[in-house]
Structures are given as C-alpha cells and as structure tokens.
Structure 1
Amino acid sequence: VGQGILVHTYQDAFARHGLACGQVLLTPGDVVDRTRYLNARHTFDRLLELGAVPVVNENDTVATDELRFGDNDRLAALVASMLHAQVLVLLSDVDGLYPARPYGAGGAVEPIDRVDDFATLDAQVVGPTASDVGTGGMASKLEAARIAAFSGAHTVIANARRPDVLTHVAAGKHLGTWFPPSRRRPESRKLWIAFAPVPQGRIDVDSGAVRALVERGSSLLAAGIVDAHGEFAAGDAVNVVGPDNTVVARGLTTYSTDDIRQIRGRSTEALAAELGVAYTREVIHRDSLVVVA
C-alpha cells in the first residue's frame, strides 16, 4: 500500500540535490544464481552510467523465511561485493563498534577505532543481533564488514545521526569503526561461493584436511571427512568445519549428505575398488571452494 509513497519520497529527496534514483528489489536468488547475478550487476552498472542512484531493498513480496537475506547489512555487503565497491558504510544508532556495551556508561566508553582481525572480537563486543531501528544489530554489521573486507572493500560503522556522516566518510575523514580490506580480493566466482548461497549443511573434517585446504589449496577429498550434517544435495553450498568447530572453508559439494556419510574417511583407491570410479571425484573441487578461516 505504501510502496508508491515511499518511492515518491525517495525521488523528491534525491531531486532536491539534482539527482535521479531508481529502485532495485533483490532476492537471494539474484545473487545465488550466476546468470541472475550477472544481470543484476549489469542493471546496477547501467543505472550508475545514467547518473541514477540505485535504492536497494529486499523484495519482500516473494521472499520467504527460508530464503531471504535476513537483514539489510548483509544485502548491502553483497551489493558492494557485486559492484566492486571501494567503501561500504553501515549506519547505526551508536558511534561504532564498542569494546563493551556503551549503555549506562555516560558516554565514557569510546568506540573501537579499527579492526584488523575479526577473530579477536568476542561475544561481548558483538552484542545483540537486532536493534530497535533495523532488521540487524551489531552482529549483522560485523558479518557484513567481513563480507566487504573479503571482497576488497573498506567498511565503516558510524552513527546515522552524525551530521554529514556520509560526506565525511567519502572525504576520508576518520570516524566510527574502520575495517580495512583484505590484502587480495578473490575472483568474483569465489566471492559468490563464499557469501551468496546460504549453506545447506556442514562437512566436518580432520586436522589433516584442514592443513591441505588452508596451506596447500587442495580440493576436499573423502579421506579427510569425519561426518556430514544437514540435508543437502550435490551442487549445494556447505560449510567445511575443522576439529575445533571453526568454519575453515565454504564450497559447492559434488555429493549429497547420504553419499558423503557413505564415503567419509576412505581413500580414493578404496572407493574406486569398492564403489567404482564415480565415487573417486573430489567432494569439493578447489575451484568451487573458498578458504574463509
């Protein structure tokens, strides 16, 4: 009912600055399906070439609880990755990421200036998963910052109520909490594998498999697999989890859950002899696997 009014409000607001805008509604399928992903990126590129500012939101009309982005922070990070953006700005109702919750501290606690390693952040820093002014809280913003950093973009978490906040960030003024990008941006397909599809399950691997994936960039073989969880099919995205319960990689599996449980822990030679050559292929080929640890 209010969609027309909302779009008109955006148009009026941008027109006051001599700008045109265009609404883009996305669903997870638009970033999971490779063809739709490329079509969406072309649409963004064309809008920007024409001087229009894309206003992006999730298409709630067709979204379901099982298939949705979940919050606009993640959506913003995926769009930033899609467009090879240099900076992602995430606005909040606080001044940045705090070492402890600032509430009740009389403003004495200062936000963290810079985060180089996400592994150093504990649960107290991450805080609640939602706020009163959006669909995501600081936890979702940190996940979005992680996606953007992995994609080669800077991220700033800042206070939406700060005057001229976007102008200051664009001018390079340091404010809020800054997350620098990773040193090397992976190829676009691996970025898509890492963050676009929702993992449908997990594959638990031993320490030897972790070393092979992380240090040597190997494919995941059945011999290093301990167990599989969830109900997934060949082609689905899954997390690869090490002995310490840490997600070390994400990839597109070539086997279903039941098949992996059947072949886990067995060498390629043993599988060829017992089940045939069809079961000797990699569980996740290295071209379809991204190390995220």
Structure 2
Amino acid sequence: MSATNSPVGKQRRVKRGSGLGNTGLYVAVGIAALLFLIPFYLIVRNALMEDQEITGENWKWLPTDIRWGNITEPFDDVTVDFARSLWNSTVVAVLMTAGTLLVCSLAGYGLARIPYRHANKIFYAVLATLMVPTAVTFVPSFVLVSSLGWVDTYRGLIIPGLFSGFTCFLFRQYFLGFPKELEEAARMDGLNHWGAYWRIVVPNSLNFFAAMATITFINGWNAFLWPLVIGQDPNAWTVQVALSSYMTNQTVNYHLIFMATAISILPLVFVFLLLQRWLVQGVAQTGIKG
C-alpha cells in the first residue's frame, strides 16, 4: 500500500483540506466584517472633519486636524433640541419594546397553548395583517390617533405600534416548541395559564425574549415616518426626525449631520453588544423550519 493511500495519508489530506476550508471561511468573514464596518468608519471620519475636507476633491482617510469640538455641536444648536430628541427616542423605543414583548408574547402564548375553537382563524387573521401594506393603514391610523388627541404625545408615538403580527408569529412558533412537561408540572401545582406563562415560560425563555427585545428596540429607535407625522411639535421629535431637520434646501451642514448620526447610533451599538449573544440563539429557537 502506498503512503498516499494509507489511512495516515488520507487523514493528513482531510486535515489539510479542513485547514484550507477554515482559512477560506475566516477570510470571507473578515472581508464581510470590513464591508459592514465601512459605513461606521465613514460616519466617524466625516463627523470629526470640516465640511471643506468632506466635500474636497482629494480623498483623505483621516482628518487633517481632528475636530473634537464637533461632538458638542449638535447639543449647542439652538434650532434643534437634539438632547430632547434623544430622550424622546429612548422613551419611545424602551416603552415600545416592553409593550410589544408583553402584548405579542401573550398573544403568541394564547395561540400556541390555550385551546379554543377559533384559534386557527385568529392566527390566520394575524398572518393576513402581514400582507397589508403599511401605506394602506397609515392614514386611518393617523385619523384615529388625531381624533383621540394623541398628536405630539408619547401615546400617539407608542401605542399604535405595540402589536406586531410578525413578532406575534415568532412568539407562537417559539411557544409551540416549548416543553409541555414544564407547564403540566405547573398545572399540577395549581397554576392557571397566566401563572404558567409568567412563572414558568417567561423565566425559561429569556434568550428568546432578549432577541425579540433587540430587534424591537432597533426598529423603534429607527422609526421615521410615523414619528414625523405624529410629532409635529419640535419638542415631540425623535432623533430620526431631528436628523432630517439638518438638511434643508438652503444649507447642508455635513459634519453636524455625521456627528449627530454617530451619537444617535451609540445606543443601538450598546444594546446590540449587550444582547448579541442571545440574538442568534433566540431567532434559532423560533421553530421555523427551512
């Protein structure tokens, strides 16, 4: 038997092929990471530059003179209360996240675990809402919110977005795969559906709740069109609406826009870094099969 066809030779070839495959994987992941980091680099670079350098003909990888004073400029602008807009976005995103998790998890748990006659019909109705374009419901939602007097209020910004058909669907899929034995043990201890949900299901589903919280918080923070229409008073502007006000027909203050953008994405980066290890695990536990 030749050395190349021996078991040892085959094992070496397998190891060599595996090593090359891992190297290729690392290279691909590194390239993808660089591509995803390019926008963050451009934001930080432009935020610390002068407008003349940003729009100049000659490309510069780094600012010639780093302007650290640009960091306070969004807060010193008298035309836009940037600090207030950050606070508004924080309140809206946090309350929307908490409310959406509560409402959608209860709805998903009811559809997955509480047997009643019209459960499937209600589930199909929830799925049908995913097929309705947002533009169709936008005007009726605004008319309803306006008639309730919720324009320029946190209620108008938060309550219409508390229920998400897709989030409800994900919770239902997750709860369908949740071990029934734990709930049956809770029933034997005298807990009803609410008690089993609150004392057994939620504490054992924190990974999934954290993943949904991350996604919901990012969506709530990045919302633009609805806060633009509801927040007509500048004191009710969220950070995304405040950012749009820096671009007018007369002037565009580039470094101010990029600095305000850099500041506005810091909470998203913090939330993502804090909950990233639960994000993939939670989405993988939805029970969706390919």
TM-score (norm 2): 0.25
Give 1 or 2 for the bigger CA radius of gyration: 2
Answer 1 or 2: which has greater strand percent.
Answer: 1
Answer 1 or 2: which has greater helix percent.
Answer: 2
TM-score (norm 1): 0.25
Report 1 or 2 for greater relative contact order, CA contacts < 8 Å, sequence distance ≥ 6: 2
